[in-house]
Amino acid sequence: MSSSKARLIPFLKRPSFDRKIKEVIGYWPKEAALYKLALRHASAYPFRKKKGERNNERLEFLGDAVIDLVVADILYYRFPTDDEGQLTKLRSKIVSRNNLNNVADVLGVPNLVVANLKGNHSESIYGDALEALVGAMYLDHGMKRTERFITDKIVNPFLSSDNLMETTLNYKSEVIEYFQSEKTNFKFEEIDRMGAQHNSTFVMGLYIDHVLVAKGEGSSKKKGEEAASKEYYQGHIADA
């Protein structure tokens, strides 16, 4: 038997799901259940049971924290002359929902997510699933391999892409920074909420001195605020 065929046998004996996960993260899963949970959107099982986790929200929470830490560590050492504000802005761009959605798409995550979505839905579920996968990988393989994955798949592609450096923004941070510099009174408020409880769309308004100046929709209040901020930024700040 040739050496190439010998190397192929362990790969073929693995379950199909395990092979798909290895194609995404670069390592065989030790606990496949963690990754299955990471790819399960809340809409797949809208009615929670008293025991057991039903969706990827807790892993998303963990993965978000791990990504933030790794990105901050990388930027701290790669850009020794940048101040706190510059590092914060760059980190915000790298971990932005837009960038994580792009990374998820490149890795093929949308093809693996288990969801029961009806009508229009936010593509952020794929960036959320990527964060959950990072959380699962951290629990399954530890920090060293997870840091390598984040570096190779999230940070390095971003830093080597001039297009992303120019276009990916955390609009809420930009808007808040602008208002603070102008000493402007502003606030975000919920205008409306649509859809079922487990799959709601939030309509958030951005107000200046109680006057509505922009609004946006999202699958959470935070994402609605980001959408409203983007509308205001593009209409009032970008060309200022």
C-alpha 176/C-alpha 9 separation (Å) is 56
Q: Find the catalytic residue in 64, 128, 174, 225.
A: 64
Q: What share of the chain is helix, strand, coil (3-state, %, to 5)?
A: 65, 10, 25
| Contact between 96 and 170 (Cβ < 8 Å) | yes
Lay out the sheet containing 211-218: strands in order across.
186-194, 201-208, 211-218
Please report, in angstroms and rounded to a whole number, the separation of the first and last CA atoms in the chain.
Answer: 68
C-alpha 86/C-alpha 229 separation (Å) is 20
Q: Find the catalytic residue in 60, 128, 131, 225.
A: 131
**Residues sharing a CB contact under 8 Å with residue 235, sequence separation 6 or more, in sequence order:** 214
| Residue 18 a catalytic site member | no
Chain position carrying tokens 């050496």: 3
**Closest to 191 measured CA to CA, from 229, 171, 217, 170:** 217
| Residue 131 a catalytic site member | yes
Residues labelled catalytic: 64, 131
